[in-house]
Structure 1
Amino acid sequence: MSIKMRFLLSYVGVIIISIILLLAAGFLIIFSITGDIKSIEHFYKKSYVQKPLTTLEESTFLDLKLMAKNNPTLLLYEEQLKNVEQEGIEIVVRKDNEVHYASPSLNKQALLKSLPGFEETNINMRDTIKIEDSFFTYVKFDFYFPDKSKGSIFVLRKASSYAELARALFPILFGLLLFLFMMIIGLLNYFVSRSIINPISILEDGAKRIKSGDLDFEIKATSNDEIGQLNRSFEEMRLKLKESVNLQLQYEENRKELLSNISHDLKTPITSIIGYVEGIKDGVANTPQKMDKYLSIIHLKAKDMDSLIDELFLFSKLDLKKEPFSFELIELTEYMQHYVEELHLELIQEGIQIELELTHQPVYVTADREKLKRVMANLINNCVKYLNKDQKRISISLYEGNHEVTVKVTDNGQGIESSALPHIFNRFYRAEQSRNSRTGGSGLGLAIAKQIIEEHGGDIWATSEIGEGTNMFFSLKKGR
């Protein structure tokens, strides 16, 4: 059963229960007033309508009734009637079609038009009449005078016109109130259902679109209640899912590019190796010098292949979080001095000057020695690729903060385009697309450095100016 149908049934149930309770309350009120359960059946029969009089009015009526039964002639004497009449009580004596006596406040001509007719059985003794612009409740008694003429006595009491009008129109008013009650309940059902069903329908439609692979839509929250919170959570999920799908698509494109790059980088040295091996087999290397040259080239190309495969393997393990780390407390100043000493001779041979700017105080960090060495090697190799000036220079600096140490690697190379700078640490990205022998590679060096630094709980970034050089930064947590 749908939620909408449940709401509808619940509101119908509320209406039915309310009507039952209203009728039960009316029954109890009438029963408590009349003391007779049959009064419900005859509630709107005039013969049963109760018009209670005050004690004084009831006493006056009984006196008049007693006179009508025992000596009706006395009712024709005004002095006798004035003795019975009391202040605030209106009495009327009618003989045939003539008002013989009426209290001074009453108009005899109006009474003739308004008083009910003679009824020998005295069944309808109590009712309400309208005299001119006023309503009166009355009790009457019909009898015969000694001369067989018809006689009637009335005791009247002025009643509220609004109360009588309400009583007369009670069925219509009750029906209107019941109709209004049902309309209000219906409108509440409509608005409440719309505020709940519509957002849920939107969520259902959104779920179907996601199921079909469509993530290019938006779900707006129109309220701050639980439904609105659900809509906002759904929209956040959609955005996260869309971001994840886009990232997955980007990874797929990167994977294709990686396969293309790997194929190219592997094919190039393999082609060279095959060519030189065939040259040896065909006797082209017919001198010891040529043979030594060919073998040296084959060895170099094999080492390039081994380095590429090693880099791919490391990246794969880092990406899958399967590369183990051995963290220890390292004195970074001494570590950098030893690293530069190892690297110095190799860079000097390539005409590159390396400088080291260190603090005078020992600086301790928590790091993995081998992984940190890999980061430095990848950053230095990236600097070397793009050094294009006559005086090639690389410098390494340390900056100590309150909770971390920042390492800066600077070169005076050609620099990196501002459009490429935000992407250089992305996996498989290459700022240089020409893939020449000097700047070639898998494009994983900086991505590997980023993954290693992030595993250390640090951050890595870069700044660059075309023609001026590039600054590479990474941070490490200070050791304790």
Structure 2
Amino acid sequence: MSIRIKLLLSYAAMLVIPLFLLMITALLLTVVYRGDVQNLKNAYERKFEPLEDSDYGNLIKHTMMKNPDLLNDASFLKDLSADMLKNNTALYIRSDQETLYISDELLSKETLTEKLPAFKHEGTRYEPYKVKYENDWYQVVQFDLLSKDSKPVSLFLLTKLDPLVHFVLTFFPILFLLTVVVLILTHTLLTTYMSRRIIRPILELRGAARQVAEGNLDFQVQVSGKDELGQLGMAFEEMRSKLQESIVLQQQYETNRKELITNISHDLKTPITAIKGYVDGILEGVANSPEKREKYMRTIATKTGELDRLIDELFLYSKLDMQKLSFSFESVSILPFLKDWAEELIIELEKKDVKLAMNLDEGEHARVSVDRDSFKRVLGNVIQNSLKYMDKSEKMITVHTFMEGEQFVLTIADNGPGVPKEAADHIFERFYRAEQSRNSDTGGSGLGLAIAKQIIRGHSGEIYAKSEEGQGTTIYIVLPIDEDRSTQG
């Protein structure tokens, strides 16, 4: 539910509930001021209107008290009683203990009439009071006067009260107070609810913003819900999380940059130091024969070549890492391509007494989009990495292909020393070596497999390694098949 709807409902509740309660109060007041009047409008007493101003009051004061003969006029009293009974009012006239007149309504209620007070003072109208008879309440008004022969006479008007009227008359102050309390509670509860649903999330977001401003991102925004504030809280938490991730990533980049500089410095310094040493040997006359000078110069040339290759690989890796190296893709039939590459490779491997086994089992008609030169560099880097660590008397490299769904898989396995399983996941990282020694025989640049990984990623493929110590390492190269040009055999 949106905040707008919540506010509308809250304001509507604040308006409707008080109006409803005011209507109830007005109804109760109407019952008090109007409903009871209707029941007593022809009686001789009213709760809030002086009886002297009513028709029955005027009749008694100005007619009966001045004409006591009417107390003995049965026809007049009967008509008067009949008229008053329409408004739930009964008439009872008593002289001493003798009943002069009693309405039919009171004939069966002797106990009620016996409770009525005795004559007190001539010409007096007493304030109304209530009396209970069985389960009913009656409001009683008493008039004391003298008859024609000067006998004391008490005239009573007994009005039967409606239960609701009686309840309101009795508990009206409490009802009014409860109405006020309900109004206060309604506004308090609604205000508290809206405060918790709106103000508290805003305060939570404000506190979170302050923490972000202070550089603290190690917290979570505790704002939930499906309204605008909940959505804002989720967006803020997502922003905080991504900002924290970006900072962690930036720190990792900075660490990697420092590590890269350290590794580059180390790998560049090694050949430079060697070159400097041989040059100093020549200048200082250590190479005092033509043979030594030639040997020193050849060594310098070799180290210079290593330095040149290292710089080329650093430059290539940098371009790949920044995605600034463009590929010239073409759809090639992958097995013939690998056979041509293997023919060139065999000549190089024979010079190093390494056997090559080709098991091109599957993918005869598969075509793959590759950049020929870049893909050959990947294969060359993998082979060179295997050759550096060969330690068996019979050195062997095995190339195997197979299909895996809509992907072409090429594996290059060697029977070298292998690497620990935990190291297999890291050999494609730049400058990483499971063999930590950095000698010229096995050290290399440390970028060969990292470059291979970047190139394969550029081909929308995947490269990973599986290795077992003492048994060798297998490199897996997975490439998507160019379905549009592949043929079925």
Structure 1 match to 2:159:
157
- In structure 2, relative to structure 1, the CA distance for the partners of 1:397 and 1:115 (3 Å cut) is farther
Aligned to 2:376: 373
Query: For 1:211 and 1:351, how far apart are their aligned partners in 2?
Result: 65
Matches of residues 63-462 of structure 1 in structure 2 within 5 Å? 68=64, 71-76=67-72, 81=77, 85-86=81-82, 90-93=90-93, 100-102=100-102, 103-104=106-107, 105=109, 107-112=112-117, 129-132=130-133, 134-137=136-139, 145-146=147-148, 153-220=155-222, 227-228=229-230, 230-359=232-361, 361-462=364-465
For 1:398, give the aligned amino acid. Answer: T
1:52 counterpart letter in structure 2:
Q
Cα gap change, 1:329/1:202 in structure 2, threshold over 3 Å: closer, same or farther?
A: same
Range that drifts further, 361-370 or 189-198? 189-198
Report the Cα offset of residue 464 of structure 1.
Answer: 0.9
Provide closer, same or farther for how the CA distance between residues 21 and 177 of structure 1 changes in structure 2, counting only shifts above 3 A: closer
- Per-residue CA deviations over 1:24-76 (Å, capped at 9, x if unaligned) read 8866x699x79xxxxxxxx87xxx98511499989x96998697378532324
Q: Is the 8 A contact 2:416 2:471 kept in 1?
A: yes
* Alpha-carbon contact 1:325-1:368 (below 8 Å) kept: yes
Alpha carbons of 1:418 and 1:221: their partners in 2 closer, same or farther (altered >3 Å)?
farther
Separation (CA, whole Å) in 1 of partners of 2:122 and 2:224: 70
Deviations for 1:148-190, whole angstroms, at most 9, x for unmatched residues?
7786655433223443222342233122232133224323432
8 Å contact from structure 1 (residues 453, 460) kept in 2: yes
Is residue 378–residue 455 contact of structure 2 (8 Å, CA) maintained in 1? yes
Change (3 A) 1:195 1:51: same
Cα deviation, residue 267, structure 1: 0.8
Cα 1:20–1:184 shift into 2, 3 Å: closer
Distance 1:385 1:235, change over 3 A: farther
Call closer, same or farther: CA 1:12–1:282 in 2, change over 3 Å.
same
CA drift of 1:472 comes to 1.0
Partner in structure 1 of residue 38 of structure 2 = 52
CA distance in 1, matches of 2:240, 2:299: 54
Q: Is the CA contact 1:114–1:129 (under 8 Å) kept in the aligned structure 2?
A: no
Which residue pairs with 1:468 in the alignment?
A: 471
Q: Report deviation, 1:197.
A: 3.6
Q: What is the alpha-carbon distance in structure 2 between the residues aligned to residue 144 and residue 418 of structure 1? A: 126
Percent identity between matched residues is: 39
Shift of 1:365: 0.4
TM normalised by structure 1 equals 0.79
- From the superposition, tell whether residues 397 and 73 of structure 1 become closer, same or farther in structure 2 (CA, over 3 Å): same
Tell me the secondary structure at the aligned position of residue 37 of structure 2: coil
Structure 1 64/213 Cα, relative in aligned 2: closer, same or farther at 3 Å?
Answer: closer
Specify the code of the residue in structure 1 equivalent to 2:38. P
Alpha carbons of structure 1 residues 136 and 273: separation in structure 2 relative to 1, 3 Å: same
Q: Give secondary structure in 1 for the equivalent of 2:324.
A: coil
Q: Which moved more, 1:358-367 or 1:304-313?
A: 358-367
Aligned AA for 1:329? S
Structure 1: distance between partners of 2:247 and 2:433? 23
Pairwise CA distance, 1:419 = 2.0
User: Any conservation in 2 of the 1:118–1:152 contact (CA below 8 Å)?
Assistant: no
Structure 1 CA distance, aligned partners of 2:399 and 2:243?
A: 41
Distance 2:185 2:312 in 1: 78
Q: Partner of 1:423: helix, strand, or coil?
A: coil
Give the secondary structure class of the aligned counterpart of 1:283: coil
1:214-233 CA distance string (max 9 Å, x none): 33334456656665555455
Tell me if structure 2 keeps the 8 A contact 1:95–1:149. yes
Q: CA RMSD in A?
A: 4.3
Equivalent residues of 2:119, 2:154 under 8 A apart: no
Indicate how the Cα distance of structure 1 residues 270 and 204 shifts in structure 2: closer, same or farther if over 3 A, else same: same
Give me the whole-angstrom Cα distance separating, in 1, the residues matched to 2:146 and 2:444: 133
For residues 449 and 121 of structure 2, the distance between their equivalents in structure 1, rounded to whole angstroms, comes to 112
**SS of corresponding position for 1:440:** coil
- Asked if the contact 1:333/1:359 (under 8 Å) is kept, the reply is no
Check conservation: 1:353, 1:392, Cα contact below 8 A: yes
1:311 Cα offset (Å): 1.4
Aligned-partner Cα distance in 1 for 2:117–2:188: 51
- Cα deviations across residues 426-465 of structure 1 (Å, max 9, x unaligned)? 3443323221222324433222222222222112221111
SS of the equivalent of 1:92 reads: strand
One-letter code aligned to 1:352: V
Post-superposition offset of 1:347: 2.3
Q: 1: distance between equivalents of 2:381 and 2:185?
A: 77
Distance 1:276 1:292 in 2: 11
Cα displacement (A) at 1:284: 3.2
**Mapped partners of 2:89, 2:113: distance in 1:** 16
CA distance in 2, matches of 1:254, 1:451: 16
Q: Which amino acid aligns with 1:169?
A: F
1:447–1:214 distance in 2 versus 1, CA, 3 Å: farther
The CA distance in 1 between the partners of 2:202 and 2:333, in whole Å, is 60
Return the letter of the residue paired with 2:90. Answer: E
